[in-house]
Amino acid sequence: MKIKQSILLLAVPFFLAACDRDRIPNICADTPQFCVDLHADSWCKFERTALIRARKQQATLPSAMHDYDLLNKLQTYHNCLDPLLAIEYTRHKERKNDKVEAVYHAKEAINQLAIDTQGSDHPQLLLWHWQHKGSQQAKARFIKLADRAEMQDPELQNALAELLLLRDSDAAEQALHKALSLYHKGDALNPDIIANLLTLYIRQQRYQEAWIWTQVLSKLDYQENIELSRLNTYAQFSVDQQQQLQQDVERILEQLAKGTYSAPSHITKLKV
């Protein structure tokens, strides 16, 4: 017992030292390049902190995923500061100058990292280049990754479906069901996936599926209003039909809650 206590006592200083090194003031003191081009006051404090940590992470363990995280943190930091430049500082104009320079440097860093990563085949980076830079080449390369192991992520499958909705509805449907099947028990489900599925079914006049997924979506934390009455103007179901469809609703909700959802058999046979 005494040996264990001694080990713990020896470990505490190392743990505290590691925590101390991870404090933002210490990171900036040890590696000023992560902080020198950022603003100094308390505005956008959380965004500034997140950016510094992302820079440290990318420098310590360089990877495509860390590049993607850094791009997002830079963009979030830039978007937080940029609106503040319209504020007129009557007494402390240097604070505004500080932010002007920080916004400029953040934009420069985004542009440089975009150049550095434009040849990457990492799916998140390809998606970023399509969404933020409008790169058709990145979009095409992202779609080609559909069956790759690194695409087995709900958000990536949802993004893939959104790109395919107009050009290949079967492939889009497959991607949306695939996205739902990738969730595990306890995961926070993105209701936009179901909203996209619902949009597809209404567009194709597949009103039974639309009714089912409207009911599923209404049970989730979805911010937009869902009006079942509008769907009833296109297709009306008897009480018996609704009771039968409701069984599918309950089955889907149970599977989503347990993380055991799987696409209907006719969906899995589609070819992307």
For 147-172, what is each residue's pLDDT tens digit?
899 999 999 999 999 999 989 999 99
Domain boundary among 91, 124, 157: 124
- In this predicted structure, the answer to whether residue 272 has a pLDDT above a threshold of 50 is no
Q: Are residues 190 and 92 in the same domain?
A: no
pLDDT band per the 50, 70, 90 thresholds, residue 18: very low
Does any domain span residue 131? Answer: no
Q: Are residues 170 and 107 in the same domain?
A: no
**pLDDT value of residue 17:** 44
Q: Are residues 169 and 237 in the same domain?
A: yes
Q: Are residues 184 and 222 in the same domain?
A: yes
Does any domain span residue 139? Answer: no
Average pLDDT over residues 209-235: 77
Can you give the residue range of the structural domain that contains 101? 10-124
**pLDDT value of residue 181:** 97
Q: Are residues 200 and 103 in the same domain?
A: no
More confident position, 178 or 92 = 178
Contacts 24+ apart (CB under 8 A), 73-78: 73/47, 74/106, 74/109, 74/110, 74/113, 75/110, 75/132, 76/47, 76/50, 76/51, 77/38, 77/44, 77/47, 77/48, 77/50, 77/51, 77/106, 78/103, 78/106, 78/107, 78/110
Q: Are residues 81 and 156 in the same domain?
A: no
Structure token digits, residue 154: 């709900």
Query: How many domains, the chain?
Result: 2
Q: What's the mean per-residue pLDDT of the chain?
A: 87
Q: Are residues 117 and 154 in the same domain?
A: no
**Three-state SS for 270?**
coil
Does any domain span residue 163? Answer: yes
Q: Is 186 left (phi over 0), alpha (psi -120 to 50) or beta?
A: left
Statement: the pTM of the whole predicted model exceeds 0.85 = no
**pLDDT value of residue 234:** 65
Q: Is the dihedral of CA 145, 146, 147, 151 positive or negative?
A: positive
Q: Are residues 28 and 67 in the same domain?
A: yes
- Tens of pLDDT, residue by residue over 73-124, are 999 999 999 988 776 454 555 556 788 999 999 999 999 999 999 999 999 9
Does any domain span residue 4? Answer: no
More confident position, 231 or 201 = 201
Does any domain span residue 132? Answer: no
Q: Are residues 72 and 28 in the same domain?
A: yes
Does any domain span residue 2? Answer: no
Q: CA-based angle 12:15:21, to the nearest 5?
A: 140
Helices and strands: H and E segment counts in the chain: 14, 0
- The 3 state secondary structure assigned to 32-66 is HHHCCCCCCCCCCHHHHHHHHHHHHHHHHCCCHHH
Q: Are residues 164 and 120 in the same domain?
A: no
**pLDDT value of residue 217:** 92
Q: Are residues 150 and 259 in the same domain?
A: yes
Does any domain span residue 3? Answer: no
**pLDDT value of residue 232:** 65
Query: Would you say how long the chain is, in residues?
Result: 272
Lowest-confidence segment of 2-6, 35-39, 52-56, 198-202 by average pLDDT: 2-6
d(CA 38, CA 52) in angstroms, rounded, equals 9
Does any domain span residue 52? Answer: yes
- In this predicted structure, the answer to whether residue 39 has a pLDDT above a threshold of 70 is yes
**pLDDT value of residue 59:** 97
Q: Are residues 90 and 18 in the same domain?
A: yes
pLDDT band per the 50, 70, 90 thresholds, residue 262: very high
